[in-house]
């Protein structure tokens, strides 16, 4: 199947949301967990809410970014846990495609168009940051780039503003001015 060119980067294969090599080991675990969660919930596709749920359960930095004010990430997870019994029932049987981000000509099997776009976006953010593999913060920023996706809906319901999560020190190009969270690694001396 042919690829699609993005406005800002390399050729993407729309049948694959992101090459395994473009995702860190931790992010590959997040995507596998999101797919398992979708199957368990009886959903044909993993969507951005599945990705957000898996991301917050598996990535301490992403969870910390959603935990201001303290306890907010637990509230987000509370909404996500209710997916099959309440909050997410309105999504049942529907395909997530907010139309906010550029659509791919073909979608990745098992992924909603918005989730596939978020995974591509995370890989692109990593590339723009000079890294070969996307991490949890890249995925969180990519998820919040689409204000109409299910992940953004859950964040708003839990009292978080996706725009505020999307913006932090260190500007990067991208949808709605994607910004990076400063690296908290060691300081050279």
- Report mean pLDDT in 10-residue bins for the chain, 189 residues: 37 50 91 92 88 93 84 80 61 60 57 93 92 94 92 89 69 40 38
**Residue 92 has what pLDDT?**
63
124: Cα separation from own chain's centroid: 12
What span, in angstroms and rounded, lies between the C-alpha atoms of 179 and 5?
23
Structural domains in the chain, CATH included, are 17-166 (1.10.1780.10)
CA distance 69 to 88: 24
Length of the chain: 189
d(CA 76, CA 43): 20
What CA–CA distance (Å, rounded) separates 51 from 119? 9
pLDDT, residue 152, reads 92
CA nearest neighbour of 33 among 53, 17, 18: 53
Going by C-alpha positions, the residue among 147, 138, 146, 100 that lies closest to residue 119 is 138
- In this prediction, residue 84 carries a pLDDT of 57
Answer yes or no: are the C-beta atoms of 56 and 64 closer than 8 Å: no
Contact by Cβ (8 Å): 111, 140: no
Contact (CB, 8 A) for 41 and 35: no
Residue 71: the pLDDT is: 80
What is d(CA 53, CA 37) in angstroms, rounded to the nearest whole number? 9
| CA torsion angle 133 120 37 144 (round to 10) | 100
**CA–CA dist 21, 35 (Å, integer):** 18
pLDDT of residue 189: 36
In three-state secondary structure terms, 91 is: helix
pTM for the structure as a whole: 0.73
Q: Determine the pLDDT at residue 15.
A: 40
Residue 159's pLDDT is what?
A: 86
């Amino acid at each position: 199947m042919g690829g699609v060119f993005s406005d800002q980067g390399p050729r993407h294969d729309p049948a694959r949301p992101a090459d395994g090599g473009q995702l860190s080991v931790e992010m590959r675990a997040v995507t596998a967990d999101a797919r398992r969660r979708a199957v368990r919930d009886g959903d044909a596709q993993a969507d951005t809410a599945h990705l957000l749920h898996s991301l917050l359960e598996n990535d301490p930095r992403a969870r910390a970014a959603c935990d201001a004010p303290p306890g907010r990430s637990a509230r987000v997870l509370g909404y996500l846990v209710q997916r099959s019994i309440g909050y997410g029932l309105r999504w049942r049987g529907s395909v997530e495609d907010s139309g906010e981000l550029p659509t791919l000509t073909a979608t990745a099997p098992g992924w909603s168009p918005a989730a596939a776009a978020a995974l591509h976006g995370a890989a692109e953010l990593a590339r723009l940051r000079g890294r070969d593999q996307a991490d949890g913060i890249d995925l969180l920023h990519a998820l919040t780039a689409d204000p109409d996706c299910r992940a953004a809906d859950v964040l708003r319901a839990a009292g978080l503003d996706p725009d505020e999560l999307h913006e932090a020190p260190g500007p990067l190009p991208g949808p709605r001015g994607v910004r990076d969270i400063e690296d908290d690694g060691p300081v050279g001396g």
